Amino acid sequence: MYLIKSLSLAIFTSMFFVSVVAANDKGESPVRGLTGFENINESQPLWEFGVGGGAIDVANYPASSERNFIALAAPYVIYRGDVFRVGGENGMRAVVVETSDFELDLSFGGAFSADSEDNTSRAGMPELDFLFEIGPQFIYRVKDFTFEQGGDARLKARLQARAVFSTDFNRIDDRGFVIEPTLSYQQRGVIFKETGLKVGLSFTFATEALQDYFYQVDPEFANNNRRPYDAKGGYLGAEFSLGLSFPIRKNIRGFLAGSAQLHQGAANQESPLYEKDVTYSFGLGFVWRLYESDAKASW
């Protein structure tokens, strides 16, 4: 999802996401990234353990002028078994079908909560809670590239359809559905050895329930500066993202990532909670691999 992806830049996906695989023909995984420790033609360790940390600054919600700064540091574990997988940059997923060219899975994601401070557009309104989502995802490897001067690249297409829920950890509320088509390009070793580049473009469409969560103003929350507004479903926005990973020293990689969220033409531009046509996110971080297995993953 649009907001969730903004909060899930490489510095966090490398540390915390879990994957469960239901079926695999043991061909090359179409979702294997080019921004980690190994090159595309190298076998990955079956498991690894380390520590990571990072900081990210994002808009509180799509088209919000308010910011949310998050900093985290934690240990990480990655396991790349044939059935059970933990870690990687593709979020939480349970793979139903996987070949060398496409993957169909049940994927998961999440986003941090956001505080509404005084004298802001949402002051006095309910807080935006932690979001999580679940649903099918189709990923297709469009084309791989090998460059004469060295390096590899991969173009992938992805289509997600997910149910979204919010929680304050006392209750869970249904927030509708999102559909998000994405096109991403990754390359490694083209400009600098062991340096990875990732570029992505996505478009997000949401049902009324999620649009209400961001943009609805019920009469009891209206005031002189915030008129009542009935949100509607439809186009939520587009996102252009750019990420760079690079070696700092042996077994330590750094990450820089940023994105621009483009809201022009969104279904709820008339909402008093819609504030900016363009918002942005940026972050930085690192992962330090402390231990890795001698055994290698089969994908």
Residue-wise pLDDT for 230-288, tens only, equals: 999 999 999 999 999 999 999 999 999 999 999 999 999 999 999 999 999 999 999 99
Query: pLDDT averaged over the chain?
Result: 86
Contact (Cβ atoms closer than 8 angstroms) between residue 43 and residue 51: no
Q: What is the pLDDT of residue 7?
A: 40
Q: What is the pLDDT of residue 255?
A: 95
Q: What is the pLDDT of residue 160?
A: 95
Q: What is the pLDDT of residue 5?
A: 47
Q: What is the pLDDT of residue 116?
A: 62
Mean pLDDT (whole number) for 198-206: 97
Question: Above 90 in pLDDT, residue 35?
Answer: no
Q: What is the pLDDT of residue 55?
A: 96
Mean pLDDT (whole number) for 127-141: 93
Q: How confident is the model at residue 91 (pLDDT cuts 50, 70, 90)?
A: low
| CA separation for the pair 96, 183 (Å, rounded) | 21
What's the token pair of residue 150? 């060295």
Q: What is the pLDDT of residue 117?
A: 62
Mean pLDDT (whole number) for 4-27: 43
Q: List C-alpha distances in Å: 240 to 70, 204, 243.
A: 21, 12, 10
- Is pTM beyond 0.85? Reply is yes
Q: How confident is the model at residue 86 (pLDDT cuts 50, 70, 90)?
A: confident
Question: Above 80 in pLDDT, residue 289?
Answer: yes
| CA separation for the pair 47, 45 (Å, rounded) | 5
Q: What is the pLDDT of residue 121?
A: 87
The per-residue b/e assignment along 178-214, b for 16 or more CB within 10 angstroms, e otherwise, is bbbebebbbbbbbeeeebbbbebebbbbbbbbbbbbb
Residues 6+ positions from 114 with CB-CB distance below 8 Å: 60, 61, 64, 66, 68, 127, 128
Q: What is the pLDDT of residue 32?
A: 80
Question: Above 50 in pLDDT, residue 154?
Answer: yes
Write down all domains in the chain, each with its CATH number in brackets: 2-292 (2.40.230)
Q: How confident is the model at residue 118 (pLDDT cuts 50, 70, 90)?
A: low
Q: What is the pLDDT of residue 268?
A: 98
Q: What is the pLDDT of residue 253?
A: 96
Contact (Cβ atoms closer than 8 angstroms) between residue 2 and residue 261: yes
What would the pLDDT profile of 185-196 be if each residue is shown by its tens digit? 999 988 888 999
Q: How many residues are listed for the chain in this entry? A: 299
